[in-house]
Amino acid sequence: MKFLPQLLSLALLTSCLTMTSCSSKKENESDDKKAGIDKTAYGQLPDGQTADLYTLRNAAGMTAQITNYGGIIVGLQVPDKDGKFEDVTLGQDSLSSYVKNNPYFGALIGRYGNRIAKGKFTLDGKTYDLFINNMGNHLHGGKVGFDKVLWTATPVDGDEPALKLAYTAKDGEEGYPGNLSVEVTYTLQKDNALKIDYKATTDKPTVVNLTNHTYFNLTGGAKRDILDHVVTLNADKLIAVDQTLIPTGELKPVAGTAFDFLKPSVVGSRINDSTDTQIKYGGGYDHGWVLNGSGDSLKLAATVYEPTSGRVMEVRTTEPAIQFYTGNFLDGSVVGREGFAYKKRYALCLETEHYPDSPNHPAFPTTVLKPGETYKTTTIYQFSTKK
């Protein structure tokens, strides 16, 4: 048949466009090694909208599963020292579980990551009132933060597949001023790194502090606590807090304290140091560290090593601070993957961001975004192993 070759290529093209799976696989590459991005339906939200689940895969076999509901990282499969792939995050089994009760597992956080004291701030002479949802303060963007909205997703295929997520928060949404257009791009790199690029613009002066709230447990499967993980933080100073975890304004040198992670330190070794008031207030680690190095170039912020699996995670960021949270508030009430209950300190979070409560601390690096400016930050979580 004369038109057969054209028909065949048309059929191939159509299948690539409609199959929801289109990869950059070259001939002779085995299926399990192909890089690309797949999309499947994830479920329906209470308001009738539907969410999707995207699986990004690189040629080394690492996968990242991300839903456009809350931009949540649902899973991250990375190899251990023997090449065994396991999930290194805490997560839930279904969309409905994420909707019902999610302590921010894997989620995008905004418009303001971490706390704003008493849910109030003043900008250009006007005071704004925000939703109070944590010990008399505003936490992680309020009642319906960016972790609970449906983002518009655009998959980008390639050797380093990416998922672009877009959301516009309305003027007045959760009490914040300005229509804020946000774009977050997750890219799974060839070198087993997940890069997150954040971008935002506004039509009125506002405050912005975006981050991702993945809970990590490098043992794989989160079957036990993270007290044996070894953490290094490139930070000389701690953002001291009060009993409600609001910064006092003091930036405290960490040297010689339970907060000194300048050298690799076992998480559990000083976490219960009851003589340290900061440890008492946080119930362990739940603080921002001021990262060493100035400017907004990418710098190594943190390294985590888990000795039994040999997994290593390095965190690089353009942000000035990192919130190191050791899952002190997990209490087994959230049942995650495979019906497994996540208990106290079964994960650690490394949330790269500006300082908490910056809108009320003029001495802290500013989080104000004005019309005509573009908010731009990048954070990279890179995985490797050592024996």
* Smallest distance from ligand BGC to CB 104, Å: 5
Q: Is 360 annotated as a binding residue?
A: no
With b meaning 16 or more CB within 10 Å and e meaning fewer, what string describes 215-229? Answer: bbbbbbebeebbbbb
In whole angstroms, give the CA distance from residue 149 to residue 111.
12
Contact in structure between 102 and 90 (CB atoms under 8 Å):
no
Q: Is 115 annotated as a binding residue?
A: yes
Report the residue number, 62 or 279, with the smaller CB distance to ligand BGC: 279
- Say if residue 81 is exposed, middle or buried (CB neighbours under 10 Å; 0-12, 13-18, 19+): middle
The residues that are catalytic are 213, 351
* Smallest distance from ligand BGC to CB 323, Å: 5
Residue length of the chain? 387
Report the residue number, 188 or 258, with the smaller CB distance to ligand BGC: 258
Report the residue number, 323 or 367, with the smaller CB distance to ligand BGC: 323
* Smallest distance from ligand BGC to CB 60, Å: 30
Q: Return the structure tokens found at 40.
A: 């499947």
CA distances to 19, 70, 154, 379 from 48, in Å: 24, 16, 20, 33
* Smallest distance from ligand BGC to CB 4, Å: 59
Report the residue number, 54 or 105, with the smaller CB distance to ligand BGC: 105
Q: Is 32 annotated as a binding residue?
A: no
Residues 6+ apart with CB under 8 A from 98: 67, 69, 70, 72, 92, 105
Q: Is 114 annotated as a binding residue?
A: yes
Residues 6+ apart with CB under 8 A from 309: 80, 81, 86, 218, 219, 220, 385
Which residues in this chain contact ligand BGC in the complex, by CB under 6 A? 103-104, 114, 245, 286, 323, 325, 329, 351
Query: Which residues are known binding-site members?
Result: 114-115, 213-215, 286
- Binding site for beta-D-galactose: what residues are annotated? 114-115, 213-215, 286
